A = this chain, B = another copy of it.
Amino acid sequence: MAGSYKLKDLSRMLNMSPSTVSKALNDYPTISQMTRDRVKELARRVNYTPDPTAISFKRKKSFTLGVVIPNLLDHFYTIAVSGIEESAMANGYKAIVSQHYEDVGREVEIAEMMARNRVDGLIVSISRETTDILHFRQLEAEGIPVVYFVRRPGEDDVFHVTSNVYKGTADAVDFLHARGHRRIGHILGPASLQATRDRQQGYADALRTHGIPLDDNILVHSNLSEESTVIAVEQLASLDTPPTAIIAFKDQLALDAMLHLKRNRRGDPPIEFVGFGNLPLLKYLDNPPLATLEEQCASIGSRAAEMLMARISDPDMRTGNRSVSFDCRILVLK
């Protein structure tokens, strides 16, 4: 079987000490080229595979990245996770993924589980309920670096990789303005998320640029659940002068809102939607949102993994930015 040959077996077959063989396989410069070649040749021939459990044990490293996300059903995260896994794999790491389903309690449990499993680091998208990140700070204190992605906590001393949703939202406003919309509503996400605050700022700044006064009546929140979104959009639609267009925190939210309007407000004047994410399913819709802000999910994932692996290799990393963001691109769907 694959893993049957041990370092000791190779050393016996080559009349060398195990330590020499080990060093040869790991390209220690103190080992002569000839010895290295002989060792590697034999290793290849007998298909030697080092035992990763022994290496993890000895080196005190699991070569595992923990990934914590809201929900794999969200294609955004699915794609990001694929990006993470690819980067991880390319660097000899594996990933174990866990979903908190927007429940802080689960998030805390997952953090503990990851620590018990001795992951070398963590990539996290916090839940909508998360208000403090003590459970992750705790891991950092134990030497397990944490990189936040997509959804980061408000604290500004954390490492994170996100979409530039500030600019994305501003672009959405510009786009809608150019299409003639002057009354642009906004369904934000949970107030606890920095991504919500960023969108709000981009929205406010862009409106100001166009000389449109802010109107709090058309700025509402959803906690991302369908029910919450329905309440939010209903609040907008039932105004005396409802918005003619709505920017939604993400595509899924736009779809839930549009579905509600279609079912319950057939006669109303139409409202255009702009979401975030460019979900793959959009192409199958007869009536998609007007536009969506395509995000670079895979790049965000792989960049987060790279940032994390860099921190693992160099725990007191001072080089490189703690904060990376990827631009969104507006995509007109109809």
Residues of B near A79 (CB, < 8 A) are 73
CB within 8 A of A53: which of B56, B73, B82, B96?
B56
* Contacts A72-B72, A73-B78, A286-B286; A53 near B118 (Cβ below 8 A): yes
Q: Across the interface, name the chain B residue whose C-beta is closest to A60.
A: B53
Q: Is A239 an interface residue (CB 8 A)?
A: no
Q: Which of A125-170 touch B at CB < 8 Å?
A: 141-143
Q: How large is the interface on A (under 10, 10 to 19, 20 to 34, 35 or more residues)?
A: 35 or more
Residues of B near A73 (CB, < 8 A) are 75, 78-79, 280
Q: Which of A49-64 touch B at CB < 8 Å?
A: 49, 51-54, 56-57, 60, 62
Contact B115 A2 (CB under 8 A): yes
* Contacts A94-B96, A95-B96; A142 near B284 (Cβ below 8 A): no
Q: Is A1 an interface residue (CB 8 A)?
A: yes
Residues of B near A143 (CB, < 8 A) are 1
Residues of B near A54 (CB, < 8 A) are 57
Contact B283 A284 (CB under 8 A): no
Interface centre among A49, A53, A60, A117 (most CB of B within 10 A): A53
15 inter-chain pairs at a CB distance below 8 angstroms, sorted by A residue, are A1-B143, A3-B115, A49-B115, A51-B118, A52-B116, A52-B117, A72-B81, A72-B82, A78-B78, A85-B97, A96-B96, A281-B281, A284-B285, A285-B285, A285-B286
